[in-house]
Amino acid sequence: MQSITATALLQKINAKEDLQLIDVREPEEHEEFNIGGELIPLGGIAQQVEKIATDKPVIIYCRKGIRSQIAIQRLQEKFPFTNLVNLIGGTEAWKKTFTPD
């Protein structure tokens, strides 16, 4: 499974690289804090597969990186994705890296 750190992801965002961010958390988690990803909760991701790009990197994230790993595994089992990337540590790693205490 491909993965990326929060620091490397921010570099890609700042460089305006063509990528898609998908948040697989629940709506209330997304409203509380998000890094700009499109909300597609884990439970319904296979039903919304048409929203997921196939022609560019798709970074999938959750709170700690577990649900995003599950989402990637489920998608790769059912569909021919080769462009899915897990954000290591999820939004918790993002906050720890970029949000001062």
Is residue 54 annotated as part of the catalytic site, yes or no?
A: no
Helix (H) or strand (E) holding 58: strand 58-61
Confidence of residue 99 (pLDDT cuts 50, 70, 90): confident
Q: What is the pLDDT of residues 46-95, one digit of tens each?
A: 999 999 999 999 999 999 999 999 999 999 999 999 999 999 999 999 99
CA 100 to chain centre: 22
Q: Which residue has the tokens 């489920």?
A: 74
Domain ranges of the chain: 2-98
Instruction: Name the catalytic one among 9, 52, 62, 87.
Output: 62
Q: Which CATH architecture has domain 2-98?
A: 3-Layer(aba) Sandwich (3.40)
